[in-house]
Amino acid sequence: MLFKHHAGQQQADLKVRIRVPGAWFGAGASGRLTATERRDAYDAVAVEYDERHVFEPAAGRKPAVVKQALRFICFADAADDAVGRRH
């Protein structure tokens, strides 16, 4: 299988799709995945590129890091949000 790598902004502009393992999702204020959900994979699309994103460390870890970043939205989450807005 052949994959073409595009620059960050181009990935967002092209709305590149990827398959994200549930294990990549950490616990946080937005909720937690069950063990079954963490074993699944989710379809996501690139929606935003940030040349200088600040990645805050977990408590008690190394200092924050500034790097390039892409923000992806999972189709399942987007569908859930759409349903929530209709009410």
Distance CA 83, CA 81 (A): 5
- Please report which confidence band the pLDDT of residue 36 belongs to, taking 50, 70 and 90 as the band edges: confident
Report if residue 3 sits inside a domain: no
Each residue's pLDDT tens digit, 40-53? 999 999 999 999 99
Report if residue 23 sits inside a domain: yes
Report how many domains make up the chain. Answer: 1
Distance CA 87, CA 83 (A): 7
- Please report which confidence band the pLDDT of residue 83 belongs to, taking 50, 70 and 90 as the band edges: very low
Report if residue 70 sits inside a domain: yes
pLDDT given at position 86: 39
pTM as predicted: 0.64
Q: What would the two tokens of residue 20 be?
A: 């994200």
Distance CA 34, CA 49 (A): 29
Report if residue 2 sits inside a domain: no
Mean of pLDDT values over 9-13: 88
pLDDT given at position 49: 92
Q: Provide the domain limits for residue 69.
A: 8-86
> Is there a contact between 47 and 26 (Cβ–Cβ < 8 Å)?
no
Q: By CB neighbour count within 10 A (0-12 exposed, 13-18 middle, 19+ buried), where does 33 fall?
A: middle
